[in-house]
């Protein structure tokens, strides 16, 4: 690859895609292309194939997906399974038909079995049952991994899958009905300490209680999206020897510790209540990232530093979230 190689980023307006775009630009790549969902419906096979045939990119980075937290995943299994398979299948098939040089498929740590040994190794794929609350999304992503492997094995093409752990950062989704745990906590704690734009502690009122799902005991690993972007750039610039790589920090925290960290950074001083009638999800999801580390990539942003960065971004864009109802 050269700095002028044409790189198409599917989902370039999302949290992951936009981070990859910014990272590539900062590294001097000058020929980046992207289309909004209104300009190109990735669920439409003909439209996707026509686009790839016309643009003829050297690299496709698939950062497009229908995503959500436990609530959205459990309520809309059909849509999460169908639409994600449509998106990735159309992109992978078009890349194969149009002889695209490199394809980077992005998935999620949820592809691994719910009760797989920790930390999660790439070899654990398809060795046990999945977490039921995000079964549809996980099966879709597993099918994408296997499709890229099949093309790699059968045709010798440079198709690789990167499986990040739980991601967060600028341009995250802060809608409490569909967001993941970290951005949802940021918004909950922020809104609990503010009324009509004023901090409750400054108007002599007690800050609101924050209710969170589950017991707080599950452990999760979190990766700042800018670190993932650096891993993608590594995959762009190098031919990786295997088809599947985990991307994470290699360390995890309890959900309770995460909540207390966010509460401290946001400045909320009220009580945290754990609703144990709500599901915890998978007990633990820690990634074994030794394969990527041995290749030369490691995560650089600490969890506290990353949360501070994300909260600062949230504050700058708070007005855009006010119309989203809780």
Q: Which residues are the active-site residues?
A: 137
Nearest-angstrom CA–CA distance, 208 and 195:
10
| 306 known ligand binder | no
Say how far apart CA 305 and CA 176 lie, in whole Å.
Answer: 23
Q: Is 34 annotated as a binding residue?
A: no
Instruction: Say if residue 193 carries a ligand binding annotation.
Output: no
Q: Is 152 annotated as a binding residue?
A: no
CA dist 157 and 70 (Å) reads 35
CA distance 36 to 166: 24
**Strands in the chain per DSSP E:** 7-10, 32-33, 59-62, 102-106, 158-164, 166-168, 194-195, 198-199, 210-213, 219-220, 222-224, 244-247, 253-254, 272-275, 284-285
108 is in an annotated binding site: yes
Q: Is 220 annotated as a binding residue?
A: yes
Annotated binding-site residue? 280: yes
Q: How far apart are CA 256 and CA 218, in angstroms?
A: 8
67 marked ligand binding residue: no
Closest-CA residue to 299 (of 199, 206, 215, 226): 226
Q: Is 180 annotated as a binding residue?
A: yes
Residue 107 counted as an annotated binding residue: yes
Q: Is 202 annotated as a binding residue?
A: no
Residue 166 annotated in ligand binding: yes
Contact 272, 193 (CB under 8 A): no
- 3-state DSSP assignment of residue 287: strand
Sequence ranges of the binding site for substrate: 188, 213, 220, 280
Sequence ranges of the binding site for NADP(+): 11-17, 106-109, 141, 164-167, 180
Sequence ranges of the binding site: 11-17, 106-109, 141, 164-167, 180, 188, 213, 220, 280
């Amino acid at each position: 690859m050269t700095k002028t190689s044409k790189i198409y980023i599917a989902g370039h307006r999302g949290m992951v895609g936009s981070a990859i775009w910014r990272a590539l630009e900062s590294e001097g790549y000058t020929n980046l292309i992207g289309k909004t969902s209104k300009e190109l419906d990735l669920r439409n096979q003909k439209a996707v194939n026509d686009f790839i045939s016309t643009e003829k990119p050297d690299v496709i980075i698939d950062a497009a997906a229908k995503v959500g937290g436990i609530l959205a995943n459990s309520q809309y299994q059909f849509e999460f399974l169908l639409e994600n398979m449509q998106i990735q299948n159309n992109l992978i098939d078009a890349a194969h038909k149009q002889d695209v040089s490199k394809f980077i498929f992005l998935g999620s740590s949820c592809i691994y079995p719910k009760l797989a040994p920790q930390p999660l190794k790439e070899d654990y794929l398809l060795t046990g049952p999945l977490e039921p609350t995000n079964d549809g999304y996980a099966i879709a992503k597993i099918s994408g991994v296997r499709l890229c492997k099949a093309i790699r094995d059968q045709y010798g093409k440079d198709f690789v899958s990167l499986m990040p752990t739980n991601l967060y950062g600028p341009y995250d989704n802060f809608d409490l009905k569909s967001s993941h745990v970290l951005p949802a906590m940021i918004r909950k704690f922020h809104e609990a300490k503010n009324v009509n734009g004023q901090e409750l502690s400054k108007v002599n009122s007690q800050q609101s209680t924050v209710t969170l799902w589950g017991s707080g005991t599950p452990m999760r690993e979190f990766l700042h999206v800018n670190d993932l972007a650096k891993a993608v750039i590594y995959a762009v610039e190098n031919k990786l020897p295997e088809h599947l790589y985990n991307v994470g920090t290699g360390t995890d925290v309890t959900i309770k510790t995460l909540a207390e960290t966010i509460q401290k950074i946001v400045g909320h001083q009220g009580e945290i209540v754990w609703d144990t009638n709500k599901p915890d999800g998978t007990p633990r999801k820690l990634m074994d990232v030794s394969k990527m580390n041995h290749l030369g990539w490691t995560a650089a942003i600490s969890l506290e530093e990353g949360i501070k960065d994300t909260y600062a971004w949230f504050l700058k864009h708070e007005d855009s979230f006010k119309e989203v109802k809780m």
